[in-house]
Amino acid sequence: MTVAPFVKIRRDLHKIPELGFQEHKTHAYLMQYIGSLPQDCLEIQTWRTGILVKVNGKKPTKTIGYRTDIDGLPINEATELPFQSEHEGRMHACGHDLHMSIALGILTYFTKNPINDNLLFIFQPAEEGPGGAEPMLASEEFQKWMPDMITALHIAPEYKVGTVAIKEGLLFANTSELFIDLKGKGGHAAYPHKSNDMVVAACQLVNQLQTIISRNVDPLDSAVITVGKITGGTVQNIIAEDARLEGTIRTLSVESMVKVKERIEHIVKGIEIGFECKASIDYGAMYHQVFNESKLTREFMDFVSDRNDVELFECREAMTGEDFGFMLEKIPGFMFWLGADSSFGLHNAGLNPSEEAIGTAIKLMTDYFTFKGNSR
């Protein structure tokens, strides 16, 4: 099967990145392509902006799931590619355009080369936020076609094309968004004693948050708190009445996540007392760890090891977050890194993964599903 059509699909999708649950153009594009395929063995359901496509097997005894994410990120693209984003402030900076084109390539193959077992292709919205996997998993549509096992991949810019990186057990961390709003008393810059300055309070809070990892988390465990955005005040000569911190929490254990949040709440209460202000905490989207089931993961690793066209690398766990973890919590399966060889990393405005990874993944996964779906 030629790869060129799926490179074109990737470029088409790269032009129209959309945020979670707003993927209307993306949904329409995917539906148009899926509708152009032979429909003899296909069944299709939609859920919000997501799509479920079942390829009915010849003699099914199980259903194998394959999930791809479809949303983009709120980033201004800086690649200068001829097919760069047409949506200002939006970019496929996490490789979901490649993920979708790979999924369509695998789907296309199996509409013409059916296997014994059923295949379920899951085009999931809102992976980047607010989180589409958990509600999609609970939906009537998904429950109707609940797979017996499930797989997914994620591009990895740091690995060369032709590399598959994976491990049994924990692959990605538990993650949570973090939003803290501070409300004080504004006033004239010349009279700070008559105000409660929330810029100063926010700066103190950022510093105190960093002590949680060094002093409240087991040194043999791992966790990180990142404050990626601070806003506060209006102009240079008015003391800020409001401030907002936006960040993330990432931990390798559920226990550490509980502990970190407990300490955040204690520290924020201290800020309220110390600066005579009001504070509120919102944890936003919280993603469950990605935990690869040992038996299926080892079987896949053995499958990859026997190939000459792909190199297997047994990697370490990462602090990356992925809401595919919710699916793996309920369904046995695994996720792996796919080498994509970009000098810029994930969530970077310059990300430009190698399109050669598309063909590598389509070939690998069509072979794997053929092996898995015909074995008895």
Distances (CA, A) of 170 to 141, 182, 253, 335, 371: 28, 36, 9, 10, 25
Q: Would you call 317 exposed, middle or buried from its count of C-beta atoms within 10 A (0-12, 13-18, 19+)?
A: middle
Residue 329 appears among annotated catalytic residues: no
On whether the CB atoms of residues 370 and 113 are closer than 8 A, the answer is yes
Active-site position among 69, 77, 127, 322: 69
Distances (CA, A) of 180 to 218, 272, 281: 25, 12, 5
Helix, strand, or coil here: 46?
A: strand
On whether the CB atoms of residues 209 and 225 are closer than 8 A, the answer is yes
Amino acid at 38: P
| H-helix segments, the chain | 4-14, 24-36, 96-112, 133-138, 140-144, 198-216, 254-275, 294-305, 324-330, 356-374
Beta-strand relationship, 63-69 and 118-124: parallel
Residue with the two structure tokens 């201290």: 270
Number of helices (H) and strands (E) in the chain: give both, helices first: 10, 17
Active-site position among 97, 128, 177, 241: 128
On whether the CB atoms of residues 213 and 263 are closer than 8 A, the answer is no
On whether the CB atoms of residues 137 and 330 are closer than 8 A, the answer is yes
Residue 69 appears among annotated catalytic residues: yes
- As annotated, the active-site residues are 69, 128
